Chains A and B, each alone.
Chain A
Amino acid sequence: MAQITASVYTSHIPAVGAALDLGKSGEPYWQQVFDGYVQSRQWMQEHTPDVIFLVYNDHANAFSLEMIPTFAVGTAAEFAIADEGWGPRPVPKVIGHPELASHIAQSVIQDDFDLTVVNKMDVDHGLTVPLSLLFGQPDAWPCRVIPFPVNVVQYPIPSGRRCFQLGQAIRRAIVSYDEPLNVQIWGTGGMSHQLQGPRAGLINREWDKQFLDRLIADPADLAQMPHIEYVREAGSEGIELVMWLVARGAMDDIAGGPLPDVTHRFYHVPASNTAVGHLVLENQ
């Protein structure tokens, strides 16, 4: 049987990808960001999964306003890197896991979550920056990746409660897969940031730290937080943090198991416009 061994949470700031791609990661400004990933990269080398179920949002790259799926699962064999307007990031293409992805779609839709199934999709910085942060700059990504885009761009977006419940359904799907795969689930985006209007540049350290505390210790309560609190306290783009609740909902403790170990925790301001948050939680 497949099992979820860990969940990883990280911001997916495009400027972080650009810093890596342009060889700026040694500059003091960026060093402070990348230092927060040294320990988790080392951990990842020893705990590379077979498959990552990667929850992220598309930023008007794969999905224009022609179609806006709330929850979508990438079932393709591979995914090309999007040209977001600056040219595609120079990173390896993403190799999917169509068998597991199809199994998850079948299970989760029967579990009342109406996913959009996507067989052709380019992936943007929301997906590739987390991979770069945890794996560096390899010639090929060391594992398969199932992209799971969530709409957090056009309101209304799914609630934290719905995301948390979805994570539980994804867990049920993965643990019912026959092949003994080691699967990690990643939740990405955030933390506090606002990219628009006169309030651009908003950061709320206290709120972010409380979010991390509550995500670790009491995610069911955190999942009740309404959208308006994310937007007001963490900025219009801080709402991306609902995606972390999908990953958290898939952990063992939510299904009655023991609490996860906190393997790594990091927080830093700023990277470009954004507060960087990063957690690694391991199932016991």
Chain B
Amino acid sequence: MALDKPYRDIPGTTIFDMEQSRIGYWLNQFCMSLMKAENRERFKSDERAYLDEWPMSEEQKQAVLARDLNRCIALGGNIYFLAKVGATDGKSFQQMAGSMTGMTEQEYRDMMVAGGRSIEGNRYIGEDGDAQADRQPQGKAGRES
């Protein structure tokens, strides 16, 4: 019998449920390893070699190397785990969150100071808000593409 997953119709949002957690187990466990200072150093000195120590998929490794957080999340990553990679890079949660919108750091920060992203048009897939798939990337990058 199918499980009830009503959260699949929200635009620009991946819920880290049991299925995502299963897919992302090693990706997230790799991230956890970066809580140790010596592992952060080893990762920074040779990212590819460090990633190859983990039974992650090649896709997951490429997503980490590219710091493509949207891709990491699609492949089972969770933002609190992925934050360890960001911390290793010296990034804040705001820089990490902003990177997933396509906006520049300043554009994202300005949006937050102005009150954040509006809920209007962003509740359901198919509405006309700025988080909808057909409006990516956002900000200057979107206007130029």
Taking Cβ atoms with an 8 Å cutoff, the residues of A that contact B are 14-15, 18, 29, 59-61, 64-66, 82-87, 153-156, 192, 194-205, 207, 227-228, 231-233, 236-237, 269-270, 272-273, 275
Contact = CB atoms under 8 A, between A and B. Distances in A.
Given A83-B37, A202-B119, A155 B80 contact: no
Contact of A233 (B17, B96, B119): B119
B104 interface: no
Do most interface residues of chain B lie in helix, strand or loop, or is the interface mixed? helix
B10 A232 contact: yes
B83 A198 contact: no
User: Which of A29, A84, A273 is most buried by chain B, counting CB atoms within 10 A of its CB?
Assistant: A273
B14 interface: yes
A199 B122 contact: yes
Given A59-B80, A84-B35, A275-B116, A231 B15 contact: yes
Given A198-B100, A237-B79, A273-B97, 14 more contacts: A14-B93, A64-B29, A84-B87, A85-B35, A85-B87, A197-B100, A198-B131, A199-B10, A199-B117, A202-B122, A205-B115, A231-B10, A236-B13, A273-B93
Nearest to B85: A85
Contact of B29 (A65, A237, A272): A65
A269 B96 CA distance: 19
A94 to B, nearest CB: 18
Contacts of B17: 154-156
A231 B78 contact: no
A183 B103 CA distance: 45
Contacts of B28: 60, 64-65
A154 B83 contact: no
Contacts of A199: 10-13, 117, 122, 131
A15 B96 contact: no
A201 B80 contact: no
Contacts, number: 164
Contacts of A156: 17-18
Contact of B34 (A29, A85, A155, A232): A85
Given A155-B15, A155-B17, A232-B10, A201 B117 contact: yes
Contacts of B124: 232
A69 to B, nearest CB: 14
10 contacts: A65-B21, A82-B35, A87-B37, A156-B17, A192-B116, A198-B132, A203-B119, A231-B7, A270-B116, A272-B92
B111 interface: yes
B73 interface: yes
Contact of A198 (B11, B37, B86): B11
A233 B28 CA distance: 27
Nearest to B84: A85
Contacts of A201: 97-98, 101, 108, 111-112, 116-117
Nearest to A192: B116
A5 to B, nearest CB: 33
Interface string B70-92: 10010000111101101110001
A198 B96 contact: no
User: Which of A84, A197, A198 is most buried by chain B, counting CB atoms within 10 A of its CB?
Assistant: A198
Contact of A200 (B21, B84, B100): B100
Contacts of B80: 59-60, 153
A203 B92 contact: no
Contact of A273 (B10, B11, B86, B94): B94
User: Which of A18, A199, A203 is most buried by chain B, counting CB atoms within 10 A of its CB?
Assistant: A199
B8 to A, nearest CB: 10
